[in-house]
Amino acid sequence: MSNPSFTPRQMAAAAIIAAIYAGLTLLLPVPQYGGVQLRVAEAMTVLPFLLPEAIPGLALGCFLANLLGSPMPVDWIFGTAATLLAAIWTSRLHNRYLAPLPPVICNAVIVGAEIALFFMPEGSAFLPAFALNALTVGAGEAVACFVLGLPLLHWVSATPALRRS
């Protein structure tokens, strides 16, 4: 039976992942918040496929990025929840080429609904607003996860220093 707690190395890796995620989100000059966004850091959401310590690292990094980058507490909660759920789901997959799907789906649905519910003008129809925001958030997420995330996943799996010990 394996020990369910993280080793010091895994805790350090989670902290590094959190710092990289938050740093990329806060420092890169691309749209990171709102209906049209391309969070380059979301490429990292495929990492739980290989590294279980990426789950808390991504959740913490997303929370910190949202806390420091978005004035909306609802984004701190729902954006972080989308990343956490996607990370857990990704860690349970058996096919690396499917690893980008959970982040795309979770962010399209959760963040798309968040934007439609909390940021649309009063009286706007929810379903059209949700469909538009889910499409735009999902498209940005798909670019980050498939175009950037899959090569990242390959690189991590091929780098001896990053393999699980």
**pLDDT (tens digit per residue) in 63-112:** 999 999 888 898 899 999 999 999 999 999 999 999 999 999 999 999 99
How many domains is the chain partitioned into structurally? 1
CATH of the domain at 127: 1.10.1760
Given a contact cutoff of 8 angstroms between Cβ atoms, the answer to whether 65 and 19 are in contact is: no
In a domain, 128, yes or no: yes
Given a contact cutoff of 8 angstroms between Cβ atoms, the answer to whether 87 and 117 are in contact is: no
In a domain, 3, yes or no: no
**pLDDT (tens digit per residue) in 136-163:** 999 999 999 999 999 999 999 998 877 6
Evaluate the CA torsion angle 144, 87, 112, 95 in order and state its sign.
positive
CA distances from 88 to 19, 31, 132 (A): 19, 25, 26
In this prediction the pTM is 0.88
- Buried b / exposed e over 79-88, threshold 16 CB at 10 Å, is bbbbbbbbbb
